[in-house]
Structure 1
Amino acid sequence: MDGFKKFLLRGNLVELAVAVVIGTAFGALVTALVSSFITPLIAAVGGKPDFASLYFTVNGSKFTYGVFLNALISFLIIAAVVYFLVVQPVAALLIRMNRNKEATERDCPACLSEIPIRATRCKFCTTELATTP
């Protein structure tokens, strides 16, 4: 039971739970924005009074593509926000952090395996190598 309590109270798990809750709230907010403002503007340009109620029927079956378009626009907005506010900054930060690291390994010219820079013999193919200063 003690291990389970430690698992639940780890920082990563709590941070993940907070991120899921905030993400869910943000998704609901974007969905409301799309259904309340964006798609009615699109519908007004197209001459339809309610974009979400657009549908077509095939053999009596009703296909509500307006609802799908609302969900698609919501998804695209959320994906753009995540990409531009999370993915790009984290990638730039990782590049900046790894820029000043010195190389600790090099490729063996014979077998192309990664070996320590100061090695004089490859540990994989046993080729003798010139040492690097």
Structure 2
Amino acid sequence: MLKEFKEFALKGNIFDLAVGVVIGAAFGKIVTSLVNDVIMPLVGLLLGGINFSGLEFTVEKATVKYGAFIQSIVDFVIVAFSIFLFIKLVSKLKRKEEAKPEELAEPTLTKEEELLTEIRDLLRGESLKERS
């Protein structure tokens, strides 16, 4: 399953992108709930029972809801950090995948190394003839 997920995460086609957008939207809802229902109430308790969602002030007929804005900032930071960690993980997996073919490839020899290899092989051949 991990191998299939790795192949899925490293592919670059439109279908995978669409699935990623849907998963991202669902993830955004989870993070919004985490921020609104878990993190901000705890932060509010630490700050003396402040309910951030209700923080607002009125200027004439305009109401500025800066508490909702603070919650959106916390929401953004959590989503951005999560995406950063995911991209870092995918990049690491991709680097490992790219490194494998290099390990399996036969090393290329320079002209000098080829000549030295031929000389070594000739000397081995002569020493084997002398022993026989």
> TM-score, normalization: structure 2?
0.59
| Structure 1 residues 69-110: Cα deviation after superposition (integer angstroms, max 9, x where no partner) | 11111111111111112x212333454426949xxxxxxxxx
Matched, 1:65 2:46: no
Ranked by relative contact order (alpha carbons within 8 Å, sequence separation 6 or more), the top structure is 2
Match of 2:32 in 1: 31
| Structure 1 residues 54-78: Cα deviation after superposition (integer angstroms, max 9, x where no partner) | 0122233211011111111111111
| Aligned partner letter, 2:85 | F
Pairwise CA distance, 1:35: 0.4
1:1-133 map, 5 Å: 12-85=13-86, 87-96=87-96, 97=98, 100=102
> TM-score, normalization: structure 1?
0.59
Please list every run of 5 or more consecutive structure 1 residues that lacks an aligned counterpart in the other structure. Answer: 1-10, 102-132
Whole-angstrom CA distance in 2 between matches of 1:16 and 1:31: 22
Please list every run of 5 or more consecutive structure 2 residues that lacks an aligned counterpart in the other structure. Answer: 1-11, 104-112, 114-132
| Deviation beyond 6 Å, 4+ runs, structure 1 | none
Whole-angstrom CA distance in 2 between matches of 1:94 and 1:36: 36
Secondary structure of the equivalent of 2:63? Answer: strand
Whole-angstrom CA distance in 1 between matches of 2:90 and 2:18: 20
Whole-angstrom CA distance in 1 between matches of 2:18 and 2:34: 24
- Measured on the aligned residues, the alpha-carbon RMSD in Å equals 2.7
Q: Which has the higher strand share?
A: 1
